[in-house]
Structure 1
Amino acid sequence: MSERVIPGRMGGLITLSAADALWSALTAGSGVPAAAGVFTCSPADARAGYVLLGNEVVETVQTSAGRWSVVETDVRRAAAKLNAVEMDRQDLVRIGPFHIAQQQHTYGAPLRWRRRIAQELQEETAGPECAARGEDGRLRHLAGIDWRRIFVARTQYQTLRTWWLPRAAVRLLDAAEHTERQWQQAVQQPSGAVTAPPSSRQQAQTTEGQEATSTDHPTGPRRPYSGELKGQLYSVLSRKPGISGKVAGWACAVCRTAPAAVLDHCHEHGYVRAPVCQSCNTQERPDHLYSNTIRVAGRYKRLFDTHATDWLRHWHRCSGCRARTTLPLPHLAAWTAHTACRPLRPTHRAPRGSRGHKPCGVLRVSWTGNQNAPRSCLLIVVVDFCPSGEHRVLARVPYREAAERFRTWLAETAPDVAAAAGPDRLDDLPAQPRSVIADTSEEGLALF
């Protein structure tokens, strides 16, 4: 489309409707199907300050006349990047449904494309009344991509329905999440702390600074947790009447300041660790992308570096992890990527004005098999978004080797925690710990 036929152009800015027309024209022959109305249709919202197109952020500006516009060159750049993506529609990657990932992946970039796809598909299967209710808010595109045109649903054994997208689209949407997160962090004000409205603060505190009375939480200071729930199974304890009120009476066993809200437990062995607050529970939770893949986010520095002893002591409150001197498989995988493979991670020169080198990309670790078959379990550590290679494999570490490395590191980092662990403490352990991680070593389920 030539520039002279684009309406609304003023100083390099074009209106949102003109941007829609330009985007459609430029991406007409793209290998990745582009959606129409990416600037004006849901889920696009110009008031957010940007629109995400592929892995490009196109900023929106409001003119003096109150009209929302975008820079034309930004739209052209985003279209050119989308057109450069080559996609094999036969090379598919399973994207769901993964119940564990959907429940645990509750933070990150607002795109959250896996959750959005799952939500729309679940609404469709819920019945015609649900579909009718959601007609106006239906998800029409993801980062400018018409995912409906490349989406594949498979049914196995007439019962299990799985969802698939081409590998190139999955990588593009993952990159879009990463780009959006980086952009938001860049524009966030350093002092931009959000303050709760007065009504919310009054519900939490009295004028004297003491905790307000609530029917769900006891009054007065919370008592410190002293291991009262040691060795108890979560499946049994969580069913006991009044347990939520008892949990609320403790201070968080990790930060020791906030009131406890939930019982953290080991999903691998089933034992209760301790009552913790929602914040610490979120930090402890692995950042699942898939049922056997996690992204090693920046918060792992706190878990394995700055506050490692506190977290190791907390994880070893599980009798199973303590007896085997290890961590649950997702946590061990995160430790392997973040700590054991740190020397292998590529670096690049820091931006101008800064010193030293900056670690490259984002770490991701996946595994085949599960911890109950250690000989077949392999951890694969990859760095994403690396300029020298989009998906670069750093290491392939057998499960047994990763566990042995962890034991050595534990003895050096937290000797008191290591001293309390060991194979001689196997009392009351289940004979066969249940596996909560699906075995994805079957043919055709490799993710990358």
Structure 2
Amino acid sequence: MSERVMPGCTNGLIILGAADALWVDLTAGSAVPTASGAFTCSPARAGAGYVLLGGGVVSTVKAGGGRWGVVEADVRRTAAELNAVGVDRQDLVRIGPFRGVPRQEHDEDARLRWRRRITRELQEPGGPERTARRDDGRPYHLAGIDWRQILVEQTPDGTRRTWWLPRSVVRLLDAAEHAETQWVQAAQRRQAGAAVSGPPRPRLDPDADGRSATTGPQGRAAALRPYDKELEGQLYSVLSRKPGTAGRVAGWACAVCRTAPATVLDHCHEHGYVRAPVCQSCNTQERPDHLYSNDVRVAGRYTRLFDTDAVAWLRHWHRCPGCRARTTLPLPHLAAWTAHTACRSLRPTHRAPGGRKPCGVLRVSWTGSQQAPRSCLLTVAVDFCPAGEHRVLAQVPYREAAERFRIWLAETAPAVAAAAGPDRVDDLPAQVRPVIVDTSSGGQALF
């Protein structure tokens, strides 16, 4: 009998130490770096009845000799799911630091809350340097993922550090956090029912379809309800203060990607209306890598926003009654669209290995405000030209940019354009809000 198989068990249980080794072995070639100790080192707590692994939950069982074990097939399946995840290390999501200090909660050692864990560790004296050296002897996994290997630090203003992780890893950790919440709530319901109906069933009893109770991607998606305009037309300033709002948000699937659990209410910062509940990854998808009060660097992610996934994002932005009624976008969005799409033919190219490539990085700034369209002017320029040749490419008045967008919208997303128009909403604010930098998140929360 193999030493890793628990004696007396016939359902494929293996001890936790063997599960650690199997996890590392199976994910050795994964694009997502993994770590040893996924089942035995903090924050894993097999004694709670489950362990987070990748983007889901694996149930643990106490067997003979007082040892804990897991089903080997569950470890193999979760590893295969993780190996299928791609990682674009240029597509990053900011995870901190933000305003305020993470609160210490009484059950934090038992729950993932991965953003708080990372922030608290990196804010300790010598945290980032210690993370880079890894000489503190601490475990460095979250749900079996070695986050330290892919943590990116940036200093956009030259003084304050910010921390970033690849978007696909953020999605995994968000999914793991949601799966944990669902598992704990289900366990609490079972305990409440046991007080009335008798002793609880074994943890590994199969579900109706014969599978174990491990939460996988399909199970997570099935547990979430799709968003169906329940919050349409409501003001974020009012709704965000209502008790129970956070709990409602957590029950929806993200209104953009429709696969991950929603974590926040996205809203229009010009008109103040709620758009929809979205996941943390999609909430940062539209943000540029550089944004001041009137200056946007048009990063590569706009290819997704205005090209590959344009219809989904246009529909999402027009969930705001103000943007929908005016058939336009918030000013930073419209500026980015003007540079990326309307002025695409003006961007110069340079010779490069494999052919000609677009020059430098596009940047668009504006003078004036969308509150005074006649005086608002968008200026599209090229930064970081290798030869220092290019500066301003075009200057586009706000009204012209808005009209170009209306024409493009009708061609790109006819259904979205058909739902827009000034006669659709008659209760818009008398005056739209100005664009103001949100200093709590490095000036990137305008969108």
Alpha-carbon spacing, 1:418–1:194, altered in 2? closer, same or farther (3 Å): closer
Task: Write the mapping of 1:49-448 to structure 2, written as runs, cut at 5 A.
Answer: 203=180, 208-210=213-215, 221-351=223-353, 354=354, 356-389=355-388, 392-437=391-436
Task: Please give the alpha-carbon distance, in whole angstroms, between the structure 1 residues aligned to 2:416 and 2:395.
Answer: 28
Read off the aligned partner of 2:214 and give its amino acid letter: G
Task: Please give the alpha-carbon distance, in whole angstroms, between the structure 2 residues aligned to 1:270 and 1:357.
Answer: 43
SS of the equivalent of 2:378 reads strand
Alpha-carbon spacing, 1:413–1:400, altered in 2? closer, same or farther (3 Å): same
Alpha-carbon spacing, 1:192–1:390, altered in 2? closer, same or farther (3 Å): farther
Alpha-carbon spacing, 1:204–1:228, altered in 2? closer, same or farther (3 Å): closer
Residue 290 of structure 1 deviates from its aligned partner by: 1.4
Residue 107 of structure 1 deviates from its aligned partner by: 5.9
Residue 350 of structure 1 deviates from its aligned partner by: 3.0
Alpha-carbon spacing, 1:422–1:377, altered in 2? closer, same or farther (3 Å): same
Instruction: Please list every run of at least 4 consecutive aligned residues from structure 1 whose deviation after the TM superposition is greater than 4 angstroms.
Output: 106-110, 173-177, 191-196, 199-207
- What is the match of residue 154 of structure 1? none
Task: Please give the alpha-carbon distance, in whole angstroms, between the structure 2 residues aligned to 1:281 and 1:252.
Answer: 10
Unaligned residue ranges in structure 2 (runs of 5+): 1-90, 101-122, 127-154, 184-211, 438-447
Deviation by residue 1:304-337 (Cα, 9 ceiling, x = unmatched): 0000000000000000000000000000000001
Residue 423 of structure 1 deviates from its aligned partner by: 1.3
Deviation by residue 1:374-401 (Cα, 9 ceiling, x = unmatched): 1111111111111232661111111011
**So what's the TM-score if we normalise by structure 2?**
0.51
SS of the equivalent of 1:386 reads coil
Residue 436 of structure 1 deviates from its aligned partner by: 2.7
SS of the equivalent of 2:246 reads helix
Task: Check whether the contact 1:293–1:367 (CA below 8 A) recurs between aligned residues.
Answer: yes
Read off the aligned partner of 2:409 and give its amino acid letter: L
Read off the aligned partner of 1:377 and give its amino acid letter: C
Task: Please give the alpha-carbon distance, in whole angstroms, between the structure 1 residues aligned to 2:415 and 2:221.
Answer: 35
Read off the aligned partner of 2:275 and give its amino acid letter: R
Read off the aligned partner of 2:259 and give its amino acid letter: T
Residue 288 of structure 1 deviates from its aligned partner by: 4.1
SS of the equivalent of 1:364 reads strand
Q: CA RMSD in A?
A: 4.1
Residue 200 of structure 1 deviates from its aligned partner by: 7.8
Unaligned residue ranges in structure 1 (runs of 5+): 1-105, 120-133, 138-172, 178-183, 213-217, 439-448
Residue 270 of structure 1 deviates from its aligned partner by: 0.6
SS of the equivalent of 2:241 reads coil
Task: Check whether the contact 2:298–2:340 (CA below 8 A) recurs between aligned residues.
Answer: yes
Task: Check whether the contact 2:271–2:432 (CA below 8 A) recurs between aligned residues.
Answer: yes
Residue 431 of structure 1 deviates from its aligned partner by: 1.1
Task: Please give the alpha-carbon distance, in whole angstroms, between the structure 2 residues aligned to 1:296 and 1:390.
Answer: 19
